[in-house]
Structure 1
Amino acid sequence: MTRTGPVEIDEQTQLAARLRLVVGRLHRRIRIDGRESVPPLQLSALVTVEQHGPMRLSELARREAVSAPTMSRVLSALDEQGLVIRTPDPNDARGVQIVLSDAGAAKLAEVRSHRTALVARRLGRLDDDERRRIADALPALEALLVDED
């Protein structure tokens, strides 16, 4: 275990605040500039279904940290757009599982491609040294995504 002095804690807190602010603002800019036709919760639900495979509404609601009625409305909208498919649950004849449709997979690919292009344009405004520093920082930033045990 490493010890951190008061000055280092203050610097770490300041770094955390700056990182939080820039990541939040960049994310918001990408969302605003993207003008996607799929609202954020619907998009998040699509990604969750894609990553975790067929799942029941209750599991999807838990993973998205929303109520079952909220998720039911989200799934109804996604179903109306043909982005998900409801299939019988093989373990429970009364239940259904949600799977991503081909149209849902295509919509996710479209959104990702569009958002990547938006970030690429922003990166294009930076000089080579700034882009290299961002590339060098990516492994550390990706490590922040790993949950603590």
Structure 2
Amino acid sequence: MSTSATGTQAEPRRGSSGGSGSSDPDLPSRLRLAVGRLNRRIRVDSAAALPPLQTSVLATLEDHAPLRLSELARREAVTPPTMSRVLAALDDAGLLVRTPDPQDARSALVHLSDKGHDAIRRIRTERTASLAQRLDRLDPEQRAALEAALPALERLVEE
């Protein structure tokens, strides 16, 4: 830590990964840390019993099913053997259904069971409630700043 002119200790500057036009060269690092930590807090605050990858697979299936294992693995950026293990766990929990692929008898299409739809709905509801409680801690100016930043944040996650 360094000491400022007023004699107080200042946080050390974190490494910057640049970014033109930003008044804060640490913006990418600070944003990455804040978003990552907020995501972890929301997962911890909610009572969801599923690991993150399983939850992500449920969400992907809700939005894009039916999918083959290989397509799910590609969308989740994991290997097919990893996806196979994830699907086995979700299948054991009764959260998905596999049906024969009419275009390839060697493959199966995966989609959510009714229990899987209920699970992802419950997880999303719990996580939204957790975030709402955290947002309630902010003053009106901070909430307005987040609302104004939403279009930019949404653009960051676009493909």
TM-score range, shorter chain: 0.7 to 0.9
**Structure 2: gaps (5+ residues):** 1-17
Match of 2:117 among 94, 105, 123: 105
Write out aligned runs for 1:1-149 (5 A): 8=20, 11=23, 13-147=25-159
The Cα of 1:8 is off from its aligned counterpart by 4.8
The Cα of 1:38 is off from its aligned counterpart by 0.9
The Cα of 1:64 is off from its aligned counterpart by 1.3
Larger Rg: 2
> Relative contact order (alpha carbons < 8 A, sep ≥ 6): 1 or 2 greater?
1
TM-score, with length taken from structure 2? 0.82
SS class of match (1:135) = helix
Q: Would you identify which runs of 4 or more consecutive aligned residues in structure 1 move more than 4 Å? A: 6-10
The Cα of 1:49 is off from its aligned counterpart by 1.3
Q: How many pairs does the alignment contain? A: 142
Larger proportion of helix:
1
Deviates more, 1:81-90 or 1:27-36: 27-36
Distance 1:70 1:111 in 2: 22
Q: Is the 8 A contact 2:47 2:126 kept in 1?
A: no
- RMSD between superposed Cα atoms in Å: 1.8
Output the amino acid matched with 2:92.
Answer: E
Output the amino acid matched with 2:40.
Answer: R
TM-score, with length taken from structure 1? 0.87
**Structure 1: gaps (5+ residues):** 1-5
Q: Encode CA deviations 1:107-133: one digit per residue, 9 max, x unaligned.
A: 111000000010100111111121111
Q: Percent same amino acid among aligned pairs?
A: 54
Q: Encode CA deviations 1:9-50: one digit per residue, 9 max, x unaligned.
A: 674541111111111110111112224111111111111111
